[in-house]
Amino acid sequence: MTEDEKEREEENTPTEKNAASSDEGAALHGDADKVLPSNLKQIVLSLPESPGVYQYFNKEGTIIYVGKAVNLKRRVSSYFNKNHQHNLKTRVLVSQICDLKYVVVNSEQDALLLENALIKKHQPKYNILLKDSKTYPWIVIKNEHYPRIFYTRQLIHDGSQYFGPYTYIPAMKTVLELIHSLYKIRTCNYNLDPLKIWEDKYKVCLQYHIKKCYGCCEGKQKEAEYNKNIEEIKYILKGDLDTLEEYLTKQMMEAAEELKFEEAQEIKEKIEQIGNFKSKSTIVSPTLHNIDVFSIDIDDDNAFVNYLKVVHGTINQAYTFEYKIKTDDEKEEILASAITEMRERFKSVSKEILLPFEIEYNFDGAVITVPQRGDKKKLLDLSMQNVKQYRFDRLKRMEKFNPEQRAVKLLTDIKNELHLKELPVQIECFDNSNISGTDAVAACVVFKMGKPSKNDYRKYNIKTVIGPDDYASMQEVVRRRYTRMVNEGAQLPNLIIADGGAGQMEVIRQVVEDELHLDIPIAGLAKDDRHRTHELLFGFPPLVVGMSKDSQVFRLLGHIQDEVHRFAITFHRDKRSKRQTHSILDDINGIGEKTKELLIKTFKSIKRIKEQPLEELEKVVGPSKAKIIYEALVTNDKEDKK
């Protein structure tokens, strides 16, 4: 550790010396300037700088949060030293802490495991909680004589072995079909106790006669031979097909050497079936073996974590978890907890873990890799694709079953972030478009309940501004729109958004507040140098509103900005295109599109139309229209000569 790092750590870490020299007003504070109880203060000050797990209790003595830390003292102190102004959830948590306990452990891995166990046991109010929206099936090898193999959604702790869970049901059924095709495992529900078999309690069924079972119920297949097949099947269920192929190849060669050609042929057919199965399952390089892949995506109060298990280039497990976030945990901490949860659940002992970013936690026996290219990066991208698809599907399901709920939540979040008086049911956004001041236009888009209301979109030709003056153009459009809305008694918006920064916000405010005396909140959306929505501004003077760019609120605001920009640009292009194709015939009243097309088709150009005598024009469009056109063209020529 460098001297600068030591100094920063000393500044951020409360010590006994500092506490002794301070009075009560300099004690550790929460966000609400709450002075910590003396017992809690002493615990915080005396925490060790070692890995461990801490538990927060409320006044009733109930555990409300369990956390892990590489450095207990630095981590716990941060809750009471930092200003959680923008983290409402953490601020609420801190306000309820009345006591804490901690456990020191040997390593970060031990801290992760203990935290995971305590969360499962106590289900604290403010911890991220795993949401199992449905029970995925497992493939089970039953703990019994002549074990059956089938899929189930219930885990019974009776000594049976479970493999999975399988989120993609067709893949699970393909595995079962391969197993039953290769080994002809029994499917009956008999209790095949050796004594009952010896007493001839059972008779073979249709499965035996169609050669899908060897008749173990009548003792036609010995239990030792059956169990040998079960051991081979475990290789398939673990995804270790290469080892199984090697084992079967050795058996085939031995059978051939002993001149057991029929047995060798059967084994060869098994190897071919396994090879066909592998060719369909392998989606990455076969050199990638024993790897866990994790990716994470966060959406407001939910975190989605995808897990892929890779064995010999084959993904043999794929699962996406959803977590409910109760505090403002960092993405790294959520991912670390999820990795511990998943590796424990799936009994993973993979030697390498692929992640989208570095985390400070280590996992015993595993190396963390953040791939930047190659096959491992493709695996990570696939995992991220899965987690985003899961999140998208979940969002669609929410909208399908309760379309209003998501909209109200989004608008409530905007209201809370900007401290608005009412829900922003109607949001309007403005943008200008011109090229060096020519063909200047503006556009207004309207979003109602978080959705674009295209019938309420408006286009504006700039009338009073000369030259490229965006501020004056914005004022003209805002003045025209809201003056008309007030006069017509129309519903005014609950929030106005300027496609721009502080300058655009101020010119809108001058019109809305100073001229029209309307009380409508105004926000601004500024873009970065790559023309992407960068930050949200609010208030006067404008301040940046801190929010995650991954949040649904920020995405909605970015969508509004993109929509008004698209609408304004499209209008500007249309206007410019019409000007470039404009002719003198367009300015003659009483002459429509069909008449213009007929004249151009007959005389080929405007110049030749001008050269025609009245009689020739009458032959094409009739006397009345010919007279109008002739007089307009003659008048226009006289003006041009002047």
Residue range 317-350, pLDDT digits in tens: 777 888 877 666 678 888 888 888 888 877 788 8
Same domain, 457 and 601: no
What confidence tier does 6 reach under pLDDT thresholds 50, 70, 90? very low
Bridging pattern class, strands 302-311 and 451-452 = unpaired
The 8 Å CB, 24+ separation contacts for 36-39 are 36/80, 37/98, 37/99, 39/99
Q: Which of 127, 160, 188 is the last residue before a domain boundary?
A: 127
**What mean pLDDT do residues 83-102 have?**
75
Report the pLDDT value the prediction gives residue 118, as an integer from 0 to 100: 79
Same domain, 456 and 557: yes
524-541 confidence digits (pLDDT tens)? 888 776 667 678 888 888
Report the pLDDT value the prediction gives residue 7, as an integer from 0 to 100: 38
613-630 confidence digits (pLDDT tens)? 888 888 888 888 888 887
Answer yes or no: is 336 within a domain.
Answer: yes
Query: Which of 67-71, 246-250, 548-552 has the weakest average pLDDT?
Result: 548-552
| Letter string b/e over residues 37-73, b meaning 16 or more CB atoms within 10 A of that residue's CB | eeebbebbbebeeebbbbbbbbeeeebbbbbbbbbbb
Contact between residue 24 and residue 35 where contact means Cβ atoms under 8 Å apart: yes
Same domain, 592 and 564: no
Q: Which of 373, 399, 425 is the last residue before a domain boundary?
A: 399
Same domain, 636 and 518: no
Report the pLDDT value the prediction gives residue 19, as an integer from 0 to 100: 33
Answer yes or no: is 200 within a domain.
Answer: no
The answer to whether residue 24 scores a pLDDT higher than 50 is no
Strand order in the sheet with 52-57: 63-69, 52-57, 99-104
Answer yes or no: is 171 within a domain.
Answer: no
Q: Which CATH number covers residue 333?
A: 3.30.420
Query: Which of 61-75, 217-231, 361-375, 582-596 has the weakest average pLDDT?
Result: 582-596
Same domain, 556 and 460: yes
**Polymer length in residues for the chain:** 642
Same domain, 488 and 423: yes
Same domain, 392 and 426: no
151-162 confidence digits (pLDDT tens)? 888 878 888 888
Answer yes or no: is 276 within a domain.
Answer: no
Same domain, 593 and 563: no
Report the pLDDT value the prediction gives residue 152, as an integer from 0 to 100: 87
Answer yes or no: is 155 within a domain.
Answer: no
Same domain, 442 and 544: yes
What confidence tier does 482 reach under pLDDT thresholds 50, 70, 90? very high
Report the pLDDT value the prediction gives residue 604, as an integer from 0 to 100: 73
Q: Which of 376, 399, 422 is the last residue before a domain boundary?
A: 399
3-state secondary structure of 131: strand
187-212 confidence digits (pLDDT tens)? 888 888 888 888 888 888 888 888 88
Report the pLDDT value the prediction gives residue 33, as an integer from 0 to 100: 40
For residue 19, the enclosing domain spans 3-127
d(CA 171, CA 271): 20
The answer to whether residue 141 scores a pLDDT higher than 80 is yes
With a pLDDT cut of 70, the percent of the chain lying above it is 78
The answer to whether residue 11 scores a pLDDT higher than 50 is no
Contact between residue 184 and residue 213 where contact means Cβ atoms under 8 Å apart: yes
pTM (whole model) above 0.75: no
Report the pLDDT value the prediction gives residue 320, as an integer from 0 to 100: 80
Answer yes or no: is 177 within a domain.
Answer: no
Mean pLDDT, the chain, whole residue set: 78
Q: How many domains does the chain have?
A: 4
What confidence tier does 429 reach under pLDDT thresholds 50, 70, 90? very high
What confidence tier does 285 reach under pLDDT thresholds 50, 70, 90? low
Higher pLDDT, 424 or 578: 424
**What mean pLDDT do residues 549-572 have?**
82
With a pLDDT cut of 90, the percent of the chain lying above it is 7
Report the pLDDT value the prediction gives residue 442, as an integer from 0 to 100: 85
Contact between residue 166 and residue 139 where contact means Cβ atoms under 8 Å apart: yes
The answer to whether residue 460 scores a pLDDT higher than 60 is yes
Answer yes or no: is 23 within a domain.
Answer: yes
**What mean pLDDT do residues 283-311 have?**
79
Q: Which CATH number covers residue 421?
A: 3.30.420.340
Give the residue among 433, 429, 430 at the shortest CA–CA distance from 575: 433
Same domain, 440 and 559: yes
Same domain, 362 and 508: no
Contact between residue 71 and residue 50 where contact means Cβ atoms under 8 Å apart: yes
Answer yes or no: is 281 within a domain.
Answer: no
Q: Which CATH number covers residue 611?
A: 1.10.150
Same domain, 458 and 601: no
577-611 confidence digits (pLDDT tens)? 655 445 666 667 777 778 877 887 887 777 788 77
Bridging pattern class, strands 495-498 and 522-527 = parallel
Report the pLDDT value the prediction gives residue 44, as an integer from 0 to 100: 81
381-423 confidence digits (pLDDT tens)? 888 887 887 777 777 666 666 667 778 888 888 888 888 888 8
Q: Which CATH number covers residue 54?
A: 3.40.1440.10
3-state secondary structure of 190: coil
